């Protein structure tokens, strides 16, 4: 009886670990902000800076 309980607990832990791994893989990635998306960077390039 103890072996059956141990197998059920082990199977439950494997299932939970599998679900956590799948949930983490399906999570959307955070968006990287580049220099062209940064308003402060674009503001610093504004009219006061002359082109080279």
Q: What does the pLDDT look like over 2-51, one tens digit per residue?
A: 999 999 999 999 999 998 888 766 666 677 666 666 677 777 776 665 55
Instruction: State how far the alpha carbon of 26 is from the alpha carbons of 1, 16, 17, 45, in Å.
Output: 38, 15, 14, 38
pLDDT reported for residue 43: 74
pTM exceeds 0.85, yes or no: no
pLDDT confidence of residue 30: 73
Could you tell me which residue, 52 or 20, shows the higher pLDDT? 20
User: Position of tokens 């390039």?
Assistant: 45
How confident is the model at residue 34, as a pLDDT? 64
Is the backbone of residue 31 left (phi > 0), alpha (psi -120 to 50) or beta? beta
């Amino acid at each position: 009886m103890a072996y059956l309980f141990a197998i059920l607990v082990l199977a439950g832990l494997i299932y939970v670990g599998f679900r956590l791994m799948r949930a983490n893989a399906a999570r959307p990635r955070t968006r990287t902000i580049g220099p062209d998306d940064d308003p402060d960077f674009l503001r610093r390039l504004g009219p006061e800076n002359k082109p080279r």
